[in-house]
A and B are shown apart, each in its own frame.
Chain A
Amino acid sequence: MSGVWRQHLTELVIVSALFLLVSALGFVAARWRAPRSMAHLDEWGLGGRGLGGWTTWFLIGGDLYTAYTFVPVPALLFGAGAAGFFAVPYTVIVYPLVYLALVRLWSVSHRHGFVTPADFVRARFGSPTLALAVALTGIVATMPYIALQLVGIEAVLKAMGVTGESPLARHLPTIVAFAILAAYTYQSGLRAPALIAFVKDTLIYLVIVVAVVYLPYRLGGWDRVIAAAEAKFAASPHPDDGIVLTTGGQVQYVTLALGSALALFLYPHCLTGVLASRNRDVIKRNMSALPAYSLLLGLIALLGYLAIAAGVEPLPGTTPGSVDSNTVVPLLFDQEFPDWFAGIAFAAIGIGALVPAAIMSIAAANLFTRNIYKEYLRPRATPAEETRVSQITSLLVKVGAVACVVFLDPQFSIDLQLIGGVLILQTLPAVALGLFTRWFHRGALLAGWACGMGFGLWLLYQIPNPATGRAHFGGSAVPLARFGVDTSATVYVGLLAVLVNLVVVVVLTVLLRAARVPDGRDGTEPGDYLADEDDPRTGRAPSDEAPAPPAGHPDQRGLPAAAP
């Protein structure tokens, strides 16, 4: 251990204290709105499906706006300027975009007891294979996302001088943090992140409001901050940076914002928060209230420019000669604020990593349990057994994420997450469009998914990154010139891949229908998409009650839980 951390003692003490506080909350959460039995996925994995407006707001907010958002977005502005601000239009358009889809998904899931998006696809298109494809895509896309939450924590630890010679010593605090996280997630399920999200977001709002009011004042006003950024980009050899977009950069900006917005609520962990809410009204009101986080994100993004004006130099990266730009924001706080306040800011970022990591591991575990274990391994699994499998899987998922960060180059996780966004977008026709139409043929959806995946991966593989000298997976934007268009514009790969996907789905649906290839049975009906909380079909009592097994659902919910 190097001794640098001694200079950061106050910060370390505050971070540790707040971490202990949320850990205690995580364990206590099991008793929060406690059901009679936790041995049901509706309870462990969806918090009883009864979360109200505020809880949902904090939970989804804590879930979407992760540490991996708060750390790299300002780092992107620090490095490239205006292009990094795409996160703001992305998180503005996403809510009107999904407004109608999410309430339909909530209703049909409420009525049928779906826990994952793949559950819905299975019933809608009568195809366990298509559901498996959706589930596997979800798991593969979520895993690196969890690993990246660790990268957020490590950026904070690095700024506090907690570094070690061996990989194990360097990662020990992260491993301990994740072990505790795994323990209370195992016990409390979704209730743990739901409760911790309150603390996390209160801290983050506090820190950011203070930072964006105080720092510009201290650095001589926004005029001077922007001037400093302008000077930095003018001096850099890179042609695409600057405080506004270049002509060619605009297409990339728009396609990246649109593609990311389309992908966001296809991520299983984002849907977990939605399905956990009490009724349609809660979701609709949250679509209006969640952009408050986008404002926060926009302000956090601007921290990147404040860091330029404050003269922050990012710490060196893992490979010699490289810099870890993710350390920019933690360093800014360390440099410009008193230790106690920097400690609170670091704790906010660290806890900001725990909430989404917990939800993501729950979502990935639910996908495995419902769409792989129950579908293929143990079709007769009871709800109690499902819950146990999910609990254990959530542990394994976290071990995997820690292993990714400890034993592999963090860049590997970043690459995977980049790929994950393109992959998850390929479930759009089945999951999102499937909510509105049943016209697609299940075979066409599967083929479209495969083509979109293949095309997206092929494009990503060929993107070099001149800055790091890597030949493959160097970014997510591909020059349009490659497709014979005479322009300097670049386009987000995910959007191109999903277009290919859609074309295949439409053409094949027409062909398969013409050839009268048998299609799956639609297990849902139009009224399912409009059902609300007081819908009598679910047999589900209001939120504070234990789940009552409804009559006539022998397969999904009918078997009583292990508890008497």
Chain B
Amino acid sequence: MHEPAPHEPAPHESAAREPAAREPAQPTPGRAPRAAAPAGARERSPWHWLLLLPIAVPLATPLYNRVEPRLFGLPAFYWLQLAFILLGVGTTTLVYRVTVRRMPRRHR
């Protein structure tokens, strides 16, 4: 099926970590840092700050609350906000691409 990646703990090590399990977890020294280290690197990418852009721009009404310039007769208020969809798609796609390249997908 799939092989555990080398840096990941084997299943038996972690079996007792289930939150609902009755018996308390057995701490396994050295496991948590090994599991968290490579992953921490990929989640803390500075690229993620870029996601603030498509959140902030559509909320800045003074940017687009106007009639002119029109596009195909549609006031700026409408076509600009529809264009923000492209901004959102573009930014999330960029962030995804850049961060995914930093962490090559593990192969099964």
Interface residues of B in 1-59 (CB under 8 A from A): 1-2, 4-5, 8-12, 14-22, 32, 35-36, 39-40, 42-43, 48, 51-55, 58-59
Tell whether B73 is near chain A: CB-to-CB under 8 Å: yes
B-binding segment of A382-390, A391-399, A479-487, A518-526: A518-526
Check if A550 sits within 8 Å of B11, measured CB to CB.
Answer: yes
Distance, CA A299 to CA B95, complexed state (A): 27
B-binding segment of A19-27, A360-368, A422-430, A527-535: A527-535
Check if A534 sits within 8 Å of B21, measured CB to CB.
Answer: no
Tell whether A88 is near chain B: CB-to-CB under 8 Å: yes
Q: A534-B2, A536-B4 are in contact. Are A553 and B15 (CB under 8 A)?
A: yes
Q: A-B contact count, CB below 8 Å?
A: 180
Interface residues of A in 248-293 (CB under 8 A from B): 250, 253-254, 257-258, 281, 284-285, 287-289, 291-292
Check if B88 sits within 8 Å of A93, measured CB to CB.
Answer: yes
Check if A542 sits within 8 Å of B2, measured CB to CB.
Answer: yes
Check if B54 sits within 8 Å of A92, measured CB to CB.
Answer: yes
Q: Which of B36, B54, B61 contacts A96 (CB 8 A)?
A: B54
* Closest chain A residue, CB of each to CB of B81: A88
Check if A527 sits within 8 Å of B88, measured CB to CB.
Answer: no
Distance, CA A257 to CA B67, complexed state (A): 21
* Closest chain A residue, CB of each to CB of B97: A288
Tell whether B108 is near chain A: CB-to-CB under 8 Å: yes
Check if A88 sits within 8 Å of B96, measured CB to CB.
Answer: no
Chain A: interface secondary structure? helix
Q: A285-B96, A526-B36 are in contact. Are A555 and B88 (CB under 8 A)?
A: no
Chain B: interface secondary structure? helix
Tell whether A100 is near chain B: CB-to-CB under 8 Å: yes
Check if B39 sits within 8 Å of A530, measured CB to CB.
Answer: yes
Distance, CA A88 to CA B85, complexed state (A): 8
Q: A89-B59, A302-B78, A537-B9 are in contact. Are A523 and B39 (CB under 8 A)?
A: no
B-binding segment of A50-58, A136-144, A220-228, A341-349: A220-228
CB distance from A438 to the nearest CB of B (A): 13
Residues on B with beta carbons closer than 8 Å to the beta carbon of A545: 1
Check if A257 sits within 8 Å of B9, measured CB to CB.
Answer: no
Q: Which of B2, B18, B35, B58 contacts A93 (CB 8 A)?
A: B58
CB distance from B63 to the nearest CB of A (A): 11
- Can you name 10 A-B residue pairings with CB atoms under 8 Å? A85-B78, A93-B58, A216-B73, A222-B74, A295-B85, A299-B82, A525-B35, A527-B39, A530-B36, A534-B106
Besides the known contacts A93-B59, A527-B32, A556-B20, 16 further A-B residue pairs in the complex with CB atoms under 8 A apart: A88-B84, A92-B87, A92-B88, A96-B51, A96-B92, A97-B51, A122-B19, A222-B74, A223-B70, A254-B59, A281-B100, A537-B9, A537-B11, A537-B17, A555-B18, A555-B22
Closest 6 CB pairs of A and B: A523-B19, A552-B15, A222-B73, A530-B39, A527-B35, A123-B19
